Chains A and B, each alone.
Chain A
């Protein structure tokens, strides 16, 4: 059997590549329009200065930094989840890992560019290279985000090679692209062995990098002495929030593309059920961290800290704060802990509220601390401008366009891993089970159990 015959069974996975409908062009058109509009307004910002935003003194950081933290958070969906699922040999990972990795690569690129949007002098960005100070947490960010981007794009590309080779063998156009990107993959046992080993090394390496990324992002805030920021739990708090929003984003993407490309056969209810339980766990963990953070502040009762605290609990930011609690905790827990509502629609709804809630959380971390300076200044109010909203929409559009284009050229579900699963996972799992169980299992018992 050659690659083509094997792949024929999984034709559905190639449909998005080999068949382009009208809707594809409409979608691309809409996203490109949004991006062009955002780019136009950004050009205006470059020409006249950051005055076109709603930022001022004392709230000198706004949407750009909020979205930076938010997007980088979502990027934890991917590589981290995919690596953990692979590492724990979760068989149900097979149709999920690819999408998770794509999210990471695209969102990381978007998030990583956000601090540049925020710069007053973006043309001087090279100063970071020529006279960067490693003592500054911003440099820690640059370092770890670059490392994460490098690791996660390689981690996306390597498991893609066998699939690209299948596309090459099917003669999919543009041929030169698949010819070039398949790197001479023939699927020999030796090649498989090398690939497996490299993926194993990468997936272990990528986990500490991913954790470091959101930890050092939290350090931007935690390393200052400002009320509401100077907290030791910020590192793990941000990592938990990042994984939480990442899983929500992954679930939304899975549900949308399953519907658009008819992947019901591959992404089954059980995948969503398992992932959404992970989302539920993260929701509880997030609440635990939030509770710890605010209880210690309240009990300590330091006047400067309390001003920020009440700004969130009952002041100007109270609507956002309580909306965050509802979106991140009450709704997801209510929906996901009940088997009746833990269905695709319910999961989709919960994932959306989690994304909104996590975005609000980033807003609630960045703005109130700045809005309440220690000394007797008039407290500032921050109202984002049209430019900031447009760039936010632009960021989301870049993500959707990127994902759509990826789906146009590469399979969204790892074909060879699905095939590998079909060919060997039952045997492997049976073998593994046998090694757990106290008594010897006979082949017949296994066969009986399967039927």
Chain B
């Protein structure tokens, strides 16, 4: 059984935000108006964290692309009262939208604050409405959502491999953010297979994980910047 994971190289990442945009389009993530956005209701499955280091005038800005970290011991699935979010066999923290009652306990429990809530029924500008991705289910108002590692792409890749009568190969399944990244900063693949690129990268000396000390065992690794 594979365990899907991601490695993001902060050295090559330019902070352009292409991953976040690609994610929004791929996953039919709702677009909220400016007032709602000011209230803090922007929906981003892939967010771009900005960290400032040092004091003026010696400031360094660091961008960290942040998808769901797909913890191996996720604090969010533990508290869900109805199993609307769970860790699946392949290590993806999945969401079941028709099961979610909208209590938002998982949002409160996630130490990385990755989850978004549909405060209203999701809406898109007219021109985009016809361009929604048919592979990703639309969410109603009142449910929690977040990055799923583009789990629908895994489904497709598996079907493709089955049709061609072969096993899934490294690179068959990559999420939209990794595909869109212009500098190839995001690598995606199977952690279980030691030969994949992600497995190699996550064992390098530069690899680290966010809030590692919490013991959540995230499956998204970052590679430190080098001067």
Chain A residues close to B by CB (< 8 Å): 48-51, 54-61, 115, 118-122, 124-125, 127-128, 131-133, 135-139, 142, 220, 223-226, 370, 373-378, 380
On chain A, the residues within 8 Å of B102 by CB distance are: 50, 119-122, 124
Report Cα–Cα, A136/B77, bound state, in Å: 9
- Residue numbers in A under 8 Å from B113 (CB-CB): 57-58, 373-375, 377
Closest to A382 in B: B40
* Most chain B beta carbons < 10 A, residue from A60, A122, A132: A60
* A224 x B79 contact (CB < 8 A): yes
**For the complex, is B156 an interface residue (Cβ under 8 Å from A)?**
no
Contact B49 A133 (CB under 8 A): no
Q: Is the interface of A mostly helix, strand, loop or mixed?
A: loop
Distance between B56 CB and nearest chain A CB, rounded to angstroms: 17
Confirm or deny: B187 has a beta carbon within 8 angstroms of a beta carbon on chain A: no
A142 contacts which chain B residues (CB < 8 A)?
A: 81
Number of cross-chain contacts by CB at 8 Å: 138
- Structural contact, B105 and A56, CB atoms closer than 8 A: no
Question: What's the nearest-Cβ distance from chain B to residue A424, in Å?
Answer: 50
What are 14 of the A-B contact pairs (CB < 8 Å)?
Answer: A48-B141, A51-B41, A51-B141, A55-B119, A56-B119, A58-B113, A60-B104, A60-B107, A120-B117, A138-B81, A225-B109, A374-B211, A375-B113, A377-B113
Give the chain A neighbours of B51 by CB distance below 8 A: 376
Cα of A223 to Cα of B119 in the assembled complex, Å? 26
Residue ranges of B at the interface with A (Cβ–Cβ < 8 Å)? 36, 39-42, 47, 49-52, 64, 66, 75, 78-84, 99-105, 107-109, 111-113, 116-121, 140-144, 210-211, 214
Given A56-B39, A57-B113, 13 new contacts (CB under 8 A): A48-B120, A49-B118, A55-B119, A57-B107, A57-B116, A59-B40, A115-B103, A118-B103, A124-B100, A132-B82, A225-B111, A226-B109, A376-B52
Give which listed residue, B49, B121, B143, contacts A377 with CB less than 8 A: B49
Chain A: minimal CB distance from B226 (Å): 21
Q: How far is the CA of A226 from the CA of B39 in the complex (A)?
A: 22
Q: List the B side residues contacting A58 at CB < 8 Å.
A: 40, 113
Residues of chain A with a CB closer than 8 A to B211's CB: 374-375
Please state if B79 and A223 are interface contacts (CB–CB under 8 Å): yes
Interface centre among B47, B82, B140, B211 (most CB of A within 10 A): B82
User: Does the CB pair A51–B80 fall under 8 Å?
Assistant: no
A127 B101 Cβ-Cβ under 8 A: yes
Contact of B49 among A120, A131, A136, A376 (CB under 8 A): A376
Q: Which 9 A-B pairs have the closest CB atoms?
A: A120-B102, A120-B142, A51-B119, A49-B141, A56-B40, A138-B81, A51-B120, A136-B81, A373-B113
Which residues from chain B contact A124 at a C-beta distance below 8 Å? 82, 99-102
With A119-B142, A136-B78, A376-B51 as contacts: A49 and B120 at CB distance below 8 Å: yes
- Is the Cβ of A119 less than 8 Å from the Cβ of B99? no
CB-defined contacts of A377 to chain B, threshold 8 Å: 47, 49, 113
Please determine whether A131 and B39 come into contact, CB atoms closer than 8 angstroms: no
Contact A61 B83 (CB under 8 A): no
- Taking CB atoms, residues of chain B closer than 8 Å to A135 are 78
Instruction: List residues of chain A with CB within 8 A of the CB of B108.
Output: 60-61, 224, 226, 370
